[in-house]
Amino acid sequence: MTSKIGLVGLGLVGTAIAESLLAQQFDVVGFDISPQRCHQLEKSGGKSMSSAAQIAGRVERVILSLPDTNAVRQVVEGSTGILDAESLPAHIIDTTTGDPEETMALAQRLAERGVTLLDSTISGSSRQVRERKAVLMVGGDEAEFEKCRDIFSALAEKSFYVGPSGSGSKAKLASNLILGLNRLALAEGLVFAEKLGLDVEAFLGLLKATPAYSAIMDTKGEKMLKGDFTPQARVRQHHKDVALILKCAENVGQELPLSKVHLDVLEKAIAAGDAGLDNSAIIKEIRRRTTPSK
């Protein structure tokens, strides 16, 4: 495999992916619908193209970092999409948190064209991707996973093969269910401690030494306390994930009572104007649900 990598989607995570690959001496050829993001890639040392098809005709492997399954379908199969290229890449590495059933169907359609799809979801924020502290969960053919291990090793210290096509998407949804509820519980607990009159900064430090500890305290605790909601992963993206989690749970006949509450909290946060903020801003909605102390 060559060191030239295509990348479609240069948002928070996509930009972090590009920077990580460039730091590992890969040549990155990217595309995004935002000219500003393409310009930023050029400034970082990559090259930008005018469409996904233009990228696909120049590389053997293309990484996708997109908002949802619909965007993936459009980039792959739509006008000026990857399948419009004169020559097709050998691998598409899709880091998007998408619908597992649609991911499996797309993998089958791509296989018929001689292209391997690896659903390579990421557990971690853009900051963690940039620091190689995120975790990759990859579904697809295991032999094809091994062929792309150089990319996975460049992006993260830990990457796991989790099973056949769709398994990466499934693992991400199950992981995000737990991660999101940990974040919501931390926000609720911090506001509760605040209302009880505790020094919340000291309380956060105490929490990290107790059985209540979760890694979310390290990544989001200070952001919650300082009100620093500069986005590393946005509220609207996690709302999309939780809605998809609930859809998949319904399909397999499982009730998720906590995730239903979580979805309502996220919907109210979006209605209040917090959609574009970091997902630690969930604490703002918890504070809005409190009444003045008597």
| Residue 1, pLDDT above cutoff 90 | no
pLDDT at res. 291: 74
Interval 251-270 mean pLDDT: 98
Interval 36-49 mean pLDDT: 96
Distance between CA 76 and CA 88 in Å, rounded? Answer: 11
Q: Would 4-165 and 171-288 be classified into the same CATH topology?
A: no
Q: What angle do CA 10, 155, 186 make, to 5 degrees?
A: 80
What fold characterizes domain 171-288? N-(1-d-carboxylethyl)-l-norvaline Dehydrogenase; domain 2 (1.10.1040)
Distance between CA 61 and CA 17 in Å, rounded? Answer: 14
Q: How large a percentage of the chain has pLDDT more than 90?
A: 97
pLDDT at res. 78: 95
Task: Fill in the amino acid letter for 179.
Answer: L
Residue 2's pLDDT band (boundaries 50, 70, 90)? low
Average pLDDT, the chain: 96
pLDDT at res. 62: 98
What fold characterizes domain 4-165? Rossmann fold (3.40.50)
Task: Fill in the amino acid letter for 172.
Answer: K
pTM score: 0.91
List the domain boundaries for the chain.
4-165, 171-288
pLDDT digits (tens, 9 = 90+) for 77-103: 999 999 999 999 999 999 999 999 999
Quick check: 51 and 162 in contact, CB under 8 A? no
Give burial (CB, 10 Å; 0-12/13-18/19+) of 210: exposed
pLDDT at res. 211: 97
| Residue 292, pLDDT above cutoff 90 | no
pLDDT at res. 68: 94
pLDDT at res. 46: 97
pLDDT at res. 290: 85
Dihedral pair phi/psi, residue 214, rounded to 5°? -145, 155
| Residue 5, pLDDT above cutoff 90 | yes
